[in-house]
């Protein structure tokens, strides 16, 4: 593969626009760019989580998600192009079932807390939900590939389940919400 990033700054964005992969230019605050940026932020949060000591199976699934998110960002930068598909969503569903089966049933709401790794998974979950909201907003304006929203929805669910699994791995339980605790 040739070296495509020979110059990091181009000055082409100094006017408040950015280029999409199809060559078109859009405002940096356009819904599409907001969605791309939030997916990129999510990928970075997963990178921070991957810097923690975590089980190898969790590491593999987060690394796969990072690659998927790069693909999803690529889809967003080429309007009308689809990469993430039904198999991606099915893979996340299988992981959800596998990790969730090893956890005790959840009877109460939990706080986004516990071990550092679990807390970072919760941060990833919330950023993932924001990315999903950005895509919904974009879908009202432009057509987006059908599996993008499903993928992000399942990924946020997986990050929730992984937060619980990471707490168990760290020898900690879920931190239960106590309604009205500070009345």
Could you tell me the residue ranges of all domains in the chain?
19-169
Q: Are strands 17-19 and 25-27 parallel, antiparallel or unpaired?
A: antiparallel
What's the predicted TM-score (pTM) here?
0.90
Angle made by CA atoms 45, 71, 164, in degrees to the nearest 5: 40
Cα 80 from Cα 42, distance rounded (Å): 22
**DSSP state at residue 6:** S
pLDDT tens series, the chain, 183 aa: 455 656 666 665 566 777 777 887 887 889 999 999 999 999 999 999 999 999 999 999 999 999 999 999 999 999 888 899 999 999 999 999 999 999 999 989 999 999 999 999 999 999 999 999 999 999 999 999 889 999 999 999 999 999 999 999 999 999 999 999 899
Q: Which helix (H) or strand (E) holds 27?
A: strand 25-27
Cα 12 from Cα 145, distance rounded (Å): 28
Site of tokens 């991606």:
88
Torsion of Cα atoms, 14 then 132 then 68 then 49, to 10°: 90
Specify whether domain 19-169 bears CATH 1.20.1200.10.
Answer: yes
Site of tokens 């693909």:
71
């Amino acid at each position: 593969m040739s070296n495509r990033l020979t110059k990091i700054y181009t000055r082409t964005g100094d006017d408040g626009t950015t280029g999409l992969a199809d060559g078109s230019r859009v405002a940096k605050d356009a819904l599409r760019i907001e969605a791309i940026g939030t997916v990129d932020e999510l990928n970075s949060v997963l990178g921070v989580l991957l810097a923690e000591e975590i089980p190898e199976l969790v590491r593999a699934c987060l690394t796969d998600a990072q690659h998927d998110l790069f693909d999803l960002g690529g889809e967003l930068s080429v309007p009308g192009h689809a990469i993430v598909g039904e198999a991606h969503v099915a893979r996340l569903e299988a992981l959800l079932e596998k990790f969730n089966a090893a956890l005790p049933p959840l009877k109460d709401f939990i706080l986004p807390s516990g071990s550092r790794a679990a807390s970072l998974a919760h941060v990833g979950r919330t950023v993932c939900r924001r990315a999903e909201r950005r895509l919904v907003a974009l879908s009202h304006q432009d057509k987006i590939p059908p599996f993008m929203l499903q993928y992000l929805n399942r990924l946020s669910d997986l990050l929730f389940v992984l937060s619980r699994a990471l707490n168990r791995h760290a020898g900690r339980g879920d931190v239960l919400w106590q309604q009205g605790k500070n009345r």
